[in-house]
Amino acid sequence: MTTRRSLSPILLLLTQLVVLIAVIATAQKFEPYEINGGLTAAVSGRNFAILASDTRLTDGGYGIKSRRYTSSRLFRVGGGTNGGDGFERAMSGGDIVKCSTSGAMIGCSGCAADCDALRRVLQIEARSHSHSSPTPLTADSIATLLSNVLYSRRSFPFYSFCVVCGLDPVSRTGVVHVYDAIGSHERVAVGCSGTGKEMLQPVLDRLFSSVEVTKEVDGGGAGGVLRRDAGVVSARDQSRGLSLAPPVQTH
């Protein structure tokens, strides 16, 4: 009898404990980042550089926000009128877009809001530079600029994985840099970032990274392969779509 009487207060305490833990456990944590997806890839060659990206914007989960989102996925920095002059309109066409040779193109994936903020910061920096210097920014300078901008936010990073693509103004060879979220970057021959990059990078490495290939491949061929390869990858990664917008820079 004594055991039964002493059981019920313990039971009451236990249920209170469960409720308490449940309340603590369900307290919502503020999650600042949302992964909106995207895959960007770039190939550099003797006299060209190509940047391509997919155009799907996801809601961080299973939903699709847009099938044709390019505004912060792929953008120009530092070239002449700073990305205006019909670049956006040309991008919506879906064919290969040829750009002028100054400045660089940047492909960003990850959190779309952060990519957009990054785009605005970079375009402002480039415009500010054009006010104080007669020579336009080169692709390598933009690469360094992006690294500094990303590291300036070391304590609350831009959740943005970038690829910078441009032409070297002197030697006219392609320049491609790949980044992590806080600005560590490396110049590479071929690079990609975003969802599905682990699947695309080995394919790009195999096709483009040996010397004899860059001799044969011209801009059109590389663009075609890039489009198709990324198309094959998209079947395997649910965060990516099938439509690509590859701009090409040649001289």
Residue numbers of the site for other proteins (CB under 8 A)?
14, 17-18, 21-22, 25-26, 29, 58, 61-64, 195, 206-207, 213, 225, 228-229, 231-232, 235-239
User: Cβ of residue 17: shortest distance to other proteins, in angstroms?
Assistant: 7
**Closer residue to other proteins in complex, CB, 37/83:** 37
- How far from 132 is each of 15, 126, 127, 136, CA to CA, in Å? 69, 10, 9, 10
Asked if residues 191 and 177 have their Cβ atoms less than 8 Å apart, the reply is: yes
**Closer residue to other proteins in complex, CB, 58/82:** 58
User: Cβ of residue 102: shortest distance to other proteins, in angstroms?
Assistant: 33
User: Cβ of residue 203: shortest distance to other proteins, in angstroms?
Assistant: 8
Question: Which of these, 222, 215, 225, 210, lies nearest to 248 by C-alpha position?
Answer: 222
**Closer residue to other proteins in complex, CB, 101/201:** 201
**Closer residue to other proteins in complex, CB, 68/236:** 236
The Cβ of residue 251 has, within 10 Å, a number of other Cβ atoms equal to 9
Helix 197-208 vs helix 219-234: angle between axes, to the nearest 10 degrees? 150
The residues, ordered by sequence, that sit 6+ positions from 105 with a Cβ below 8 Å of its Cβ are: 51, 74, 75, 76, 77, 99, 164, 165, 166, 247, 249
User: Cβ of residue 215: shortest distance to other proteins, in angstroms?
Assistant: 13
User: Cβ of residue 2: shortest distance to other proteins, in angstroms?
Assistant: 25
Q: To which H or E segment does residue 185 belong?
A: strand 185-188
| Amino acid letter for position 194 | G
Question: Which of these, 45, 249, 231, lies nearest to 138 by C-alpha position?
Answer: 249
**Closer residue to other proteins in complex, CB, 55/195:** 195
**Closer residue to other proteins in complex, CB, 40/239:** 239
Q: How far apart are the first and last CA of the chain?
A: 94
User: Cβ of residue 83: shortest distance to other proteins, in angstroms?
Assistant: 30
